[in-house]
Amino acid sequence: MPSKTTDPRTVSPALRPAAVPQPSPPTRAAPDPATEPPHRNGARRKTQSVPGKLAREVARLEAELAAMAARVAELEAHAERDPLTGLLNRRGFAGELARAVSHVQRYGGRLVLVYLDLDDFKPINDAFGHAAGDAVLQAVAATLTAAVRVSDAVARLGGDEFAVLLWNLSDADAAAKAERLERRITETTVVREGSTLRVGASAGIAPLDDGDPAAALAAADAAMYRRKRTRHGHGGTPATPAAEPF
């Protein structure tokens, strides 16, 4: 039988031995995706948050949309260019005329159209083939581009027909410019199969003062044909380019 001094039921609380604290069980930190060992199939545990996945998906879709927009812009630009010469085509030139008219109506200025048709181009195609004709068209395009200002616009409207939009020239200066363009084209040569190929050009000019590009282009075209008939009627002797009255 335990004595009163050893029986825990009768020992004074002050004399009882202090309880020894027990260690807490260790806590486990959240796994780090960078250090988490792979599963048995080689894949790491997926601990990425849903918002992070959505952000990356949105970024990917935005990048795809930007690439598509750039591609559309590139295709639209190509749709307005002549693939052979790199000049504006008829559609691109129409857009350029519309923008020019809008600018002049808002800020002022003057626009003149020059319509050019090559002389003696068909015989080159017939005698030397279309590849030679293409080379001549490319050379003429380069000549026209080099002969105008950066603010002007040059287009190949189709076949052997070209057009130039001139900014802020007087009547006399526009006529003189058209004559110089004729002369520069006549001086342009292409060597093919040991032969030097050369074409002439007839130019007609018309103002764009009324803001109607289609009417001005038709007027310049008609003036060009009058010029061509005049040149052929005088054996090709140069004369002042025909033009509608300014």
Q: Annotate 128-167 with b (16+ C-beta within 10 A) or e (fewer).
A: beeebbebbbbbbbebbbebbeeebbbbbbeebbbbbbbb
Q: What is the Cα–Cα distance from 172 to 18, expressed in whole angstroms? A: 118
Q: Three-state DSSP class for 212?
A: coil
In angstroms, how far is CA 169 from the centroid of its own chain? 29
Active-site residue, from 7, 160, 173, 209: 160
| Residue 80 neighbours by CB distance under 10 Å | 16
Question: Cα separation of 45 and 225, whole Å?
Answer: 80
d(CA 38, CA 244): 84
- Verify whether residue 160 is a known catalytic residue: yes
SS3 88: strand
What is each CA distance from 26 to 32, 89, 245, in whole angstroms? Answer: 18, 79, 100
Tell me the two tokens of residue 111. Answer: 């626009």
Distance, CA of 50 to CA of 59 (rounded, Å): 14
Whether the Cβ atoms of residue 213 and residue 232 lie closer than 8 Å to each other: no
Rg of the Cα atoms in the chain: 42
**Where in the sequence numbering do the catalytic residues fall?**
160
